[in-house]
Structure formats: structure tokens, C-alpha cells
Amino acid sequence: MPTSPSKRSRNLINLVSGSLPLQFHECLNSQKYAILHALRNMSDIQLENDIEDEDDMDRTNTSTSQNLDELLCGTVERGEGNSCLLLGPRGTGKTMMLERALSKISSGDSPPVIIRLSGWLQQNDRLAMREIARQLREQTGASFLSAEVEEETHDRDDEPNPFIDNPADDPETSVAEPSPTHLPALIAVLPTLSRASIVILEGFDLFALHARQALLYCLLDTAQSCRAGANSKGLAVVGLTTRVDTINLLEKRVKSRFSGRILRVAPQTINYWRRLTKAILCVFVGEDAFTDEEDLAQWRTTWETRVQQFLDDKSTLQTLSETFSITKDMRMLTAVLTSTVVTLSPEAPWPTSSQFLTSAEIHRVRPLYPYLHNLPYSAICLLIASVHAGTAGYSVVTFDMLHEYFRDQVRSSTAAPVQINGGSIGMTFETLVAAKIFVSVTAPSWNTAKEFTKYICVVEREDVKKAVDKGGMIPLKKWLNKAQ
């Protein structure tokens, strides 16, 4: 803690007439900036070492990280051919772990050629090949695709110069999709490069869906047949996936080429979440933003106290553990904290558990239609009409049907404030369709009039009831209650 003890004893900042004193506004702003910055760069955060630190999950991840480091090290330094799969649920830090390992390797003597592929982008082997060739060219400065069949022999003796800027080869090379027959030749180039190469496959399970798994076969086969000590450099294939049964997706010939090394990444524990929350919220504000050092010290003391109060609050802890039990995705924590921090203002400068809960509710399991009770009168009427239709046993509704229910109701009740002629209610219905509250069950057709298209209402009866109760219009309530 850089804050000195003498300054710690200073008084806390009090709100003046419900707002933060003016000189601290800048402090609050910088604090918010700092926290948001920390949330984006979570891997840089150093946690205090606790005794509880040494739990199972952490140990798993530590050993996974070590294994990954060793594997990459073996490829880069000893020229091994390796393959492994990083497996773990969403948001557990697979990518972060890999990036850390890569940055460690890249800062060494012989930085490897890194090729990144993503299953979402390279949806077939031809796209993947083009991307490989492009990234190779960017990193080594030589072209491999235009005529690599002929050049293959050349590649061995005259090694591509990594310092050459983009050679002015014709741009069409990168645009044309290569023929799939060139795939083995292209992949075979990888161990012949002057540096070791690492191929990263994000969304590994999606590559298993490619035709005949040709890319995976070539990559894994090349990695397997990589002989250490020979004239070639190493090749590592690292796959990232969340899918547990990925290995079963592989064909037999592919699976036999795969080393079978599966490194598991486990989600963090609730303790870790708690400590991380604290570390992030207590991140320090840079000094240069302030002129008055005393103010800054006072701010820091107050902020830390408030954060501690916030974290000690029972309901905060409950919200945190509830969120944790719903998803262990780290990005959820990030989003909830971001939302909490962003809403801080000079009027309410300290994080509170209620704000934390609100943020969690927005991001956790989102309520279906939180705004239902705020909809205009006619929209609520349409919803009630659809409830009536449901009670009458109709599984689908058409606008004409709802309109008739509505008309009947307006006729029979004297309290309806809405005229029924005109097209406004139809427009309201269109708004509801746009908000996907009514979902069309038939394909749109040019010879069906709009009012006769069939829809189902997504909103449940209970939700309509709640919305009507909240809206507090007695005639509507009565009308809804008629649908028993």
C-alpha cells in the first residue's frame, strides 16, 4: 500500500448536500477510468497472496500453464512437433493463458512464426489455407501460395528473409482461393521455415466439421512426423475449444495423429472472484492527474474504506455468489463490475450493493420483457386480447382476431379511453411484432393480407397479468380477469 499511515488516519470525505465536494470530482473520474482500464486488462492484475489461494482450481490452472509453456518451449527450442488441446468452459481464460505463454516464448531468442486461425472465420479449408499463406507471408516475407509446388524445392536452400518488407507480388495471389490439392504442400512448408511455427486453432471443434478434416489431418500429421534434430524446425498445433467431446469428433486417422494431450483449464473459484473484485476496485489512481496531493490521499483512504464496506456487505457477497453459481464466466464479472462502476456519479460516488444487484440482474439472466408494463394502452390491450384468444383455445392468433376481441371489449365497457376506428392499433401491433412479442408462425406471403398473418404471442399470461397490475388500470384488470 503506497498510502502512508499518517494519511490513512485522515478524515473520510463526506458528501456535501448529497454530492461529492467539487475538488474530488476529478478523483472519481480518474478512479472510474482506472477501474475500467483494469477490467480490460485483467491478466495484469496482481492478486494478494492468500493462504486460501492454493485451492484445487488454481493448481489445475497452474499446472496447465506450466505444461503449455513446456510444450511450446520444446517446439521452439528443440524443434519438436507437438499438438495439444486447451479445453475449458467459456470465459475461463484459455486465450489469456495461451497469450501469456506466447508472449513469453516470443520474447525469447528465436521468436516463432505464429499462425492464428479461427473456426468462426475460416469456415472451410480453402479459406484456412489462404489465411495461412497470408500470415506466413506477413511474418516471413515470402509467398507460398502462388507457385509453392515449384518453389517447394527452393524453399529448402534459400531461406526466406524475415526482414524483407512485403514483397511486391501481385495482389491477386491472396485473393484467389487456392485449390484444395495444394493443402499438403502448403502445410509441409511449415517445418521447413527458418523459425519454429505455432498454429493456433480457435474453435477447434469447428475445424473438425470441415470436409474430410483435411486441414487437421495435414497439420497434425506434419506435427507428428516432425523429427527433432533434423534440418527442420518445430511445429506446434494448439487447439482451443469449449466442447468436451471434441476428441470424439475427430476421424480415426486424424485422432491417431493427435498427441492426445488435453490441457484442462478450470474456472476460477468464488474466492478468486472476491479477491479479484477487491483488487480491481482498489486499483490506484495515477498521481499525475492531481495537483493537490492531500486531496488525493484523502480520496484514496475514503475510496478504500467505501470499497471495503461494499465488499463486506452481506448482500454484495450474496449477489456475487449467486452470479457465480449461474455462470463462472469471467466476462460476466467484468460486465457486472463495469456496469456498477460506470453508474457512479458525484451524487452517488460509492459502489453500493443495490447498484451491484441491479447490474447483475441486467447482465445475468435477462428478464424477457422488463418494459412490458410501460407499453402504451393499446399494446396492453392487444396482449390481453391474445390471452383471451389463448383461453378460448386458439393456439395462434391473427390481428383481425385480436382486433375483434378489442372491439367487443370497447363496445361492452364504457370505460375504454380509446377510439377503435383508424389504423393506430394496427401500428401498435406492428411495433409489438418488431419487438418480437408477437412472432409470425407462417412465412410472409404476398397474397395474404397483413391482418390475417398468423402469430403466436411470446409473452406468458402471468407476465401480462403482472404488467397489467403494475400499470394499474382497473378496466384492463377486469378485462383480463374475465379470461379464466
Partner 1 sequence: MASNPLLYHHHRLREVSFLLHASPSPFIFINDPISPRMTTQAVLGALSSTTSTTISMHLVHVNAVTCFSARLLFDAILNGLAQWTPSWEEGCTNWSGPNDTRRYNESLDAFLRGLKTLYSFLHHSDSNLPRVTRFVIVIERVERLKDRLPDLIVPLTRLAEMTRIDVTIIFVSSGRWDDMRPSLGASPDPYFVDISIPTKEACVAHLCSVFQSCQTEPNLSLNPYHPALEGIHASFASILCDACFPFTNDPDELAYAAAARWPGFVQPILDNHAMERGKDDSNLTERDDNEHLFTDDAMLVDDTHDFVTPPEEVRMRLNRYFKPSITAALEQLYPRFSNAQDWADANKPSPEALEIVFPVHRVDHLSKPRIGVTVKEKPAEPYRNLTRMSKFILISSFLASMNPAKSDLRMFGRGLDEKKRKRRRITKAPSAKIKSGPIKIPQHFLGPAVFPLDRMLAILGALLEENDNDDNFRPSKIDFSIPGEYTDMEVSRVGVCSTIIDLTSSRLLHRTSPVERLDGPPMFKCGVSYDVVLGLAKELDVPLQDLLWDSL
Residue 426 near partner 1 by CB under 8 A:
yes
How long is the chain?
484
Stretch that binds partner 1, among 64-72, 230-238, 317-325, 422-430 (CB under 8 A): 422-430
Place of cell 452517488: 348
In the region spanning residues 88 to 117, those forming contacts with partner 1, defined by CB under 8 A, are 90-91, 95
Query: What minimum distance in Å lies between the beta carbon of 182 and partner 1?
Result: 17
Separation between Cα atoms, residue 343 and residue 220, nearest integer Å: 50
Residue 244 near partner 1 by CB under 8 A:
no
Query: What minimum distance in Å lies between the beta carbon of 280 and partner 1?
Result: 12
Number of residues that bind partner 1 (CB under 8 A): 73
Given CA atoms 236, 239, 245, 251 in this order, what sign does their dihedral have? negative
Under DSSP, the state recorded for 275 is H
Helical ranges in 201-329 per DSSP H: 204-207, 214-224, 246-249, 252-257, 270-281, 293-312, 314-326
Residue 394 near partner 1 by CB under 8 A:
yes
Residue 483 near partner 1 by CB under 8 A:
no
In the region spanning residues 59 to 88, those forming contacts with partner 1, defined by CB under 8 A, are none
* Given 1, 49, 120, 158, the residue binding partner 1 (CB under 8 A): 120
Residue 411 near partner 1 by CB under 8 A:
no
Stretch that binds partner 1, among 56-64, 74-82, 208-216, 417-425 (CB under 8 A): 417-425
x/- map, 320-339, partner 1, by CB under 8 A: ---------x-xx-xx--xx
Query: What minimum distance in Å lies between the beta carbon of 5 and partner 1?
Result: 32
* 81, 222 Cβ separation under 8 angstroms: yes
3-state secondary structure of 81: strand
Stretch that binds partner 1, among 189-197, 212-220, 285-293, 450-458 (CB under 8 A): 450-458
In the region spanning residues 16 to 45, those forming contacts with partner 1, defined by CB under 8 A, are 32-33, 36-37, 39-41
* 112, 75 Cβ separation under 8 angstroms: yes
Separation between Cα atoms, residue 4 and residue 8, nearest integer Å: 6
Pick 256 or 452: Cβ nearer partner 1 = 452
> Which of 5, 2, 12 lies closest to 301 in space, CA to CA?
12
* Given 8, 212, 436, 470, the residue binding partner 1 (CB under 8 A): 436
Residue 472 near partner 1 by CB under 8 A:
no
Stretch that binds partner 1, among 13-21, 105-113, 225-233, 398-406 (CB under 8 A): 398-406
Residue 400 near partner 1 by CB under 8 A:
yes
Pick 317 or 416: Cβ nearer partner 1 = 416
Residue 465 near partner 1 by CB under 8 A:
no
Residues sharing a CB contact under 8 Å with residue 151, sequence separation 6 or more, in sequence order: 144
Pick 163 or 371: Cβ nearer partner 1 = 371
* 13, 302 Cβ separation under 8 angstroms: yes
Residue 12 near partner 1 by CB under 8 A:
no
Place of cell 469428433: 249
Give DSSP secondary structure letters for 310-324: HHH-HHHHHHHHHHH
Separation between Cα atoms, residue 106 and residue 172, nearest integer Å: 31
Pick 109 or 165: Cβ nearer partner 1 = 165
Under DSSP, the state recorded for 421 is S
Task: Please report, in angstroms and rounded to a whole number, the separation of the first and last CA atoms in the chain.
Answer: 65
Query: Where on the phi/psi map is residue 436: left (φ > 0), alpha (ψ -120 to 50), or beta?
Result: left
* Given 293, 451, 460, 469, the residue binding partner 1 (CB under 8 A): 451
Query: What minimum distance in Å lies between the beta carbon of 468 and partner 1?
Result: 15
In the region spanning residues 355 to 374, those forming contacts with partner 1, defined by CB under 8 A, are 362-363, 366, 368, 370-371, 374
Q: What is the CA radius of gyration of the chain?
A: 31
73 CA to centre of own chain: 29
* 64, 240 Cβ separation under 8 angstroms: no
* 119, 204 Cβ separation under 8 angstroms: yes
Pick 247 or 425: Cβ nearer partner 1 = 425
Residue 352 near partner 1 by CB under 8 A:
no
Residue 175 near partner 1 by CB under 8 A:
yes
